[in-house]
Chains A and B, each alone.
Chain A
Amino acid sequence: MTERASAAAQPLPVRVVGGLGAVTLDVVQALGRFGRFLIQALTYIVIPPIKVGRIVERIHFIGFRSLTIVILTGAFTGMVLGLQIFLVLSRFGSEAFLGPAVALSLIRELGPVLCALIVTGRAGSALTAELGIMKISEQIDALTVMALNPRRYLIAPPIVAGIVTFPLMVALFDVVGIFGAYLIASQLLGMSDGTYFGEMNTFVDIADVMTGFWKALSFGVIVTWVCTYKGYYCGHGAEGVARATTQAVVLSSVLILVWDYFMGSVLP
């Protein structure tokens, strides 16, 4: 009797428990592999030989080539925030607090989250697709049989690039967003420069900036970790690459939001 036939002969409760056990084992194994993947990559970041050229190339790919979209989305996010927050504050006669409200929203929350989501869509998906194609066209195997460690070449550099570029991109997003809201406040709503920036100076302190920085840094790790993992372990053929890319974007986006909540509740 085959394994499948003998399993089918088991009573229903035993099959249900067996199925649950199998699923649990799969999940635990996948989580273990996911965690081990990051630990190995972090090891290759600090143990020589460090692939400086690859790191610079990945910084260019993830950071520099995302600048346009980061500036564009930052500007419009700030403009929308300026408009909407002004409408809310005007109901309480507190328009003077527009500057700090925009700045705090962007620096603590919206800047890191929106920037990470946008970079996931632009660079994260491309990272997954690139690695997936390398996997199915045996380029990763080629590195392995050259006695070169593919994780040192393909995984560690994007993670370093994520750590370096995400805080910088988020800072740019915040600045552009604050000036986008300022444009609306000064040109459309008639607010003076002093009111907008003066109150901001009073209410925003370094702890808020550091909250945004730590979020950006951790999102940089999350996005590059998830996207490289999904590409490295993608399935077969074009369908496998497509599925891996979708999963990478969805999982990265969900983890960004979950981790944002966690960081928001832990950091001051």
Chain B
Amino acid sequence: MIKVVGVRRSFGQQEVLRGLDLEVASGEILVVIGRSGGGKSVLLKHLIGLLRPDSGHILVDDVDITRLGRNALDRIRERYGVVFQGGALFDSMSVYDNVAFPLREKTGLRAAEINQKVDEKLAQVGLEGMGAKNPAEISGGMRKRVAIARALVTEPEIVFFDEPTTGLDPILVNTIHHLIVELHRKFRFTAIVVSHEIPEIFQIADRVAMLHDGVIVDSGTPGAIQASPNPIVQHFIRGEVESVADR
């Protein structure tokens, strides 16, 4: 279980997270929605330990990761899988080597076992036979799927998805969402998905949290969020146009 308690974080004069509270139950898919620039990616970077808050706590199974040193934090990270917004695939490696990389570096598996696991993961994301390609030679949708395969190849307990469908066409958006649900059903990891794909994201979420101005303004099941009386939530999910003066 992940618990975020009163997290504040400023960059210069700008306070991005303003005492944010959030809970993520084990095994659920939590989707964090909110406007661009609202702090979703900053929140994600705090959860994976790339940023430390100015104040507040982030508890992963009751361990406060904001207080941990590098080695202890790495032990927590070994339970993580992260799908970055742009994929963050290593340019210098093939698709196969990208997926095999965490296994080669973090496990004592033999080459044959690694080979089997990589082939299996590539097949699960629908990329069998694409291992020899370079990341630059494949489409954006394929890169996202390779990133998902790489994040899941070590069978992590907690998987973070940072806008996994940004920049993809509607069919690919649904394909990626379907893939996340399918893999979640199979491996039962805890998933935290940062997205603003409304309304498609409601189909995959167990719970949705709306981040606005550095705090979670509402959270609940997709149905509850869609019926939320909160005007900020309604404004966002309807995609209502606002004047620049409102911002």
| A contact residues vs B (CB 8 Å cutoff) | 3, 133-134, 137-139, 141-142, 144-148
Q: Which residues from B are CB-within-8-Å of A144? A: 49-50, 77
Contact B86 A145 (CB under 8 A): no
Select from chain B the residue with minimum beta-carbon distance to A139: B88
The smallest beta-carbon distance between A14 and chain B, in angstroms, is: 22
Q: Which residues from A are CB-within-8-Å of B88? A: 137-139, 141-142
Q: Which residues from A are CB-within-8-Å of B75? A: 147
Cα distance A123–B91 in the bound complex, in angstroms:
18
The secondary structure that dominates the B interface is loop
Q: Which one of A3, A134, A145 lies within 8 Å of B48 (CB-CB)?
A: A145
Select from chain A the residue with minimum beta-carbon distance to B154: A146
Contact A141 B50 (CB under 8 A): yes
Cβ contacts A to B, 12 pairs, < 8 Å: A3-B13, A138-B86, A139-B88, A139-B89, A139-B91, A142-B88, A144-B49, A144-B77, A145-B48, A145-B50, A146-B101, A146-B105
Interface of chain B residues 14 through 62 with chain A (CB within 8 A): 48-50
The smallest beta-carbon distance between A36 and chain B, in angstroms, is: 14
Q: Which residues from A are CB-within-8-Å of B182? A: none
**A137 and B82 contact, Cβ closer than 8 Å, known pairs A145-B49, A146-B106, A147-B77:** no
**A146 and B85 contact, Cβ closer than 8 Å, known pairs A133-B91, A139-B91:** no
Select from chain A the residue with minimum beta-carbon distance to B71: A147
Contact A148 B50 (CB under 8 A): no
Q: Check: B80 CB closer than 8 A to any chain A CB.
A: yes
Q: Which residues from A are CB-within-8-Å of B82? A: 142, 145
Q: Which one of A134, A139, A145, A148 lies within 8 Å of B80 (CB-CB)?
A: A145
Given contacts A137-B88, A145-B50, 10 further A-B contacts (CB under 8 A): A138-B85, A138-B86, A141-B50, A141-B88, A144-B50, A144-B77, A145-B77, A145-B80, A146-B106, A147-B75
Cα distance A139–B90 in the bound complex, in angstroms:
6
The smallest beta-carbon distance between B81 and chain A, in angstroms, is: 8
Q: Which one of A3, A133, A147 lies within 8 Å of B74 (CB-CB)?
A: A147
Q: Check: B128 CB closer than 8 A to any chain A CB.
A: no
